[in-house]
Structure 1
Amino acid sequence: MRVLFVTTPVIAHTYPLVTTAWALRAAGHDVLVATCGATAPRVARAGLAVTDTAPGLELGDVFRELAPGANPFAVLAERMLPGVLAAGRPDAVVFTPHAYAGPRAAAEHGVPAVVHGLGLGPGLDQIRETYAGAGVAADFAAGIDVAPDSMRVGERLGWSARYVPFNEGSVLPAWVREPAPRRRVLVTLGTTVPSMVGLARLTPLWKTIDAAADVDAEFVIALGDIDTTELGELPPNVRVVPGWLPLIALLRTCDAAVHHGGSGTLMAVLDAGLPQLVLPQGADQFANAEAVRKRGVGLVRTPDGLSAAAITELLGDGDLRAAAAEVRAELRALPAPSALVDRLTGLV
């Protein structure tokens, strides 16, 4: 069977598909990933075949050109679709919720379309609503839902599967391989927004650094490949990760996480079973933050409401830690990505 995976040029929208794609590859099926821009070589580093459907096209480019009221993902789909169709006829298309070119290509080829969840949402109704607004049919054959039942946002997408975080590989520095000398807190704001707006405008990051100075813990700032030299002199208990370091490796050494609420980071922290403090700024982050609060696995603050006291509470609250452990067990009990192979082949 030949399966085409279609994703927008956003790392957080692409990495959740990698373990599903590899489950199919390990079972002997032909897999091709269709994306574009800088995301394409990153997927290639995961050992998967990739087609760059619109060389050089990035989400930030679309936002900068966007007319008022326009849907950036609809614009992306128009530019990516010719390249997706040029990839040839697959037996099935698996696509992320914002990759409208996926179901359109599946309809063009007359093959099953399967939507692949990224985190706690969006739910089925929300996807249908946004697709209708973009003029895209939402009559896909199946869905893959990676959300734990106790935290799902919206209706179930379909088949349940375990979220297995993928953050690329790396040669780990010695300090990551060794036990942390004291409590350690991960700080990350993802990769999309920092790369689009720059560090100077990342208020949550600066507020976290200010609060960290008064907390008895080590703080590790992970911002991927973004240049962090403008951070300047930092408190002695704040460490900046130089370059790319897989979050799943770093989280194994941490006691808690402070982040923006993006789906990829959120799911990685849930998988690690750690309490988290969420500083939502946009997109799905507010819904994710509310789910964190309701389930009791973490705290939610605005950047101005962030304080050393809040981080100290995060580290010391046993109820938050117990709830995080419960959700980790819930995630680990879901079917592995390998269980999706027979379901997907059964559609063809």
Structure 2
Amino acid sequence: MKFLFTVGGSQAAVFGVAPLAAAARNAGHEILVAADEPLMAAAASVGLPAVCITPERMRYGQESMTAAVRLDALLELTRVWSPDIVVGGLSHVPRVLAARLKVPYVRHIWHIAPMARRDRKAVEELRPELERLGVGELPEPDLFIDLCPPSLRPPGAPAARSMRWVPRVSQRRVEPWMYTRPEGRRRVLITAGTRNLMLDTAGSSLRTLVDELTGAGAEVLIAALPEAAERFGAELGDVRIGWIPLDVVAPTCDLAVHHGGATTAMTLVNSGVPQLIVPDNGYGKAVAEAVRDAGAALMVDKHRPRDGRSPDELITAGCREILSDPRYAERTRAIATETATLPTPAEVLRELEAVAAR
């Protein structure tokens, strides 16, 4: 069979779909990943055969602005490589493509944030493209795969086939310190994902957090883009800063401070690591609230200081609380245990094969 996987937005979309795409390839199916140019390197880094369909990164919530270009590019691709099934994510453009091709459509996302309103708006904005292509009402997905553990799903989320989260990030040479816990010290990871220079705070504020953690005896790791490492590295003291493989390092950590990315949060949950989340947008806030409400994290909203304390003070206080209260780690490990019981990508693939064979 031929499986067409479509991704857009950030590298997180590539890493999220990679385990299922790899499972399909390992089972002997042909696969292609249709991606935006900024995501091509990420696809190559995890061994996925990817084809570029647009030069710029898709932004979820702005589908009407690029839908025609993306659809035409996908239709051109499928004229020479005809899929038996289309797998999409947050965007509904692949759903339109599947309806036009009259092949099954599978939606594959982590439903950790409420999306019903945004989905309705996106589908309505695609109506001109439906009319242009002669497609009537969009059918519902033939299968909805959710990477989010059931205990973290938002209220009212649609029924879905749960799938186990399998961490996947860009791969490079791994060093022993990455997979080894420091002896006699706790380890704290700080990251702002793959698109941000650093946590949305000035270098001096980051130094305050680092000083607080190292002063308490913790080892600090900062996963950062090269430009961030060059800019901040010299002033942050005794820390490791630069490329850090989250999938390898996470099991060695006692706490992570991050921006609220779903891939970051799920990889940490998967390893039983409690989190202090400083969301940098509305989606990150929804992720933070879900993990916080499950007892596995604290959230600091930098736009809403409380108790007369600054965001920096709240972040450092939150780190102290998580490291001193074992209940955060216990709750996170409970969710990790739940995640480990969910069907693997190889098991879920059998359902995709059945859908494609109808």
TM > 0.5 between the two? yes
Kindly report which structure 2 residues correspond to 1:97-136, keeping only aligned pairs within 5 A, or say none.
97=90, 99-118=91-110, 120-123=112-115, 125-126=116-117, 128-135=119-126
Give runs of aligned pairs for residues 31-50 of structure 1, distance below 5 A: 31-50=31-50
Residue of structure 1 equivalent to 2:132:
none
Answer whether contact 1:213 1:237 (CA < 8 A) is retained. no
1:127: how far off? 5.7
Query: Alignment RMSD, CA only?
Result: 2.3
Q: 2:86 aligns with which of 93, 107, 113?
A: 93
Equivalent position of 1:179 in the other structure:
181
What is residue 271 of structure 1 aligned with on the other side?
A: 270
Q: Check conservation: 1:5, 1:31, Cα contact below 8 A.
A: yes
Q: Choose from 308, 321, 342 the match for 2:350.
A: 342
Q: Indicate how the Cα distance of structure 1 residues 107 and 20 shifts in structure 2: closer, same or farther if over 3 A, else same.
A: same
Deviation for aligned residue 1:173: 2.4
Matched residue type, 1:26: N
> Displacement of 1:9 after TM fit?
4.1
Structure 2 stretches of 5 or more lacking a match?
128-137, 303-309
Distance 1:225 1:297 in 2: 30
| Superposed displacement of residue 138, structure 1 | 5.9
Partner residue in 1 for 2:224: 223
Q: What letter matches 2:210 in structure 1?
A: A
- Cα offset, 1:37, TM superposition: 1.1
CA offset digits 1:151-194 (Å, max 9, x no partner)? 112414511110111102221123214331411111111122x1
Distance (Å, rounded) in 1 between the aligned partners of 2:254 and 2:139: 41
CA deviations over 1:11-62 (Å, ceiling 9, x no partner): 01221100000111111111110011121132123222111002x3235xx7
Where does 1:292-311 land on structure 2 (aligned, <5 Å)? 292-303=291-302, 304-307=310-313, 308-311=316-319
Q: CA deviation at 1:278?
A: 0.6
Aligned partners of 1:38, 1:258: CA distance in 2, in Å?
Answer: 26
The letter of the residue matching 1:45 is: S
State percent identity of aligned pairs: 28
Which of residues 299, 320, 325 is equivalent to 1:312?
Answer: 320
Deviation per CA, 1:49-88, whole angstroms, max 9, x where unpaired? 111002x3235xx7xxxxxxx9434334333222212222
- Give the SS at the match of 2:276: strand
TM-score scaled by structure 1? Answer: 0.87
Unmatched tracts of structure 1, length 5 or more: 63-69
TM-score (norm 2): 0.85
- Over 3 Å counting, the alpha-carbon distance change for 1:310 and 1:263 in structure 2 is same
Cα displacement string for residues 248-289 of structure 1 (whole angstroms, at most 9, x for unaligned residues): 111122111000111110111110101100101213111111
Partner of 1:153: 154
Q: CA deviation at 1:238?
A: 2.9
Aligned match of 2:337: 329
Give aligned pairs, total.
329
Structure 1 Cα separation of the partners of residues 5 and 226 of structure 2: 25
